[in-house]
Amino acid sequence: MATVIIKGSSRSHGHTSLVVNYLRTKIKCDLIDLLSKKIGPFDYEFKNSNDDFLPLMEQIVDQYDTLIFITPVYWYSMSSITKTFFDRLSDCLHHRKDIGYKLKGKNLAAISVGSESGIVEGFNIPFRNSAEYLGMTYLGYLHTWKSSADQNDSVLESEVMEIIDQFTLQL
């Protein structure tokens, strides 16, 4: 099986992409950009069951055993597009249980991208607890950053590259 990065940023070519691009030089993996998908919010009547979420989840559970979620830090939390994706996992527990069962035994890791090196306390909890609830193995969490004050907007700091290198050893 394979690894997939699931990127949840409001910009396809922003700072989060710098981290994704560097990570992809270190590990062999595919990329899913949630911004390119039409994924509506969760609702108990499954009104959004015809959007991109369920076909995407079918692809994910059939093709990948390791899921790496990468999201910018927005207001001390994951991005709304990432949160919507996580909320929709409820579809796989109620409406399409066949997909939900296939998540068991898979691996999940999380990476955040902020504008500062400081970790947001508790940022990883939704990822860790979701993995546990779904019967997945939680591989860990990494916080990265790209300072807005950095004049070179297309290069990561060497310290960030080093911690990504270390994190890939867990994957």
Averaged over successive runs of 10 residues, the pLDDT of the chain (171 residues) comes to 95 94 97 98 94 98 98 96 98 95 98 93 97 98 86 83 95 89
Q: Please count the structural domains in the chain.
A: 1
| Predicted local confidence at residue 90, as pLDDT | 96
**What CATH number did the domain enclosing 151 receive?**
3.40.50.360
Spell out a b/e string for 128-158, using b for 16 or more CB atoms within 10 Å of the CB, else e: bebbeebebebbebbbbbbeeeeeeeeebee
| Predicted local confidence at residue 26, as pLDDT | 97
* Domain containing residue 107: 2-168
- CA nearest neighbour of 141 among 155, 125, 130, 152: 125
- CA nearest neighbour of 67 among 31, 120, 21, 37: 31
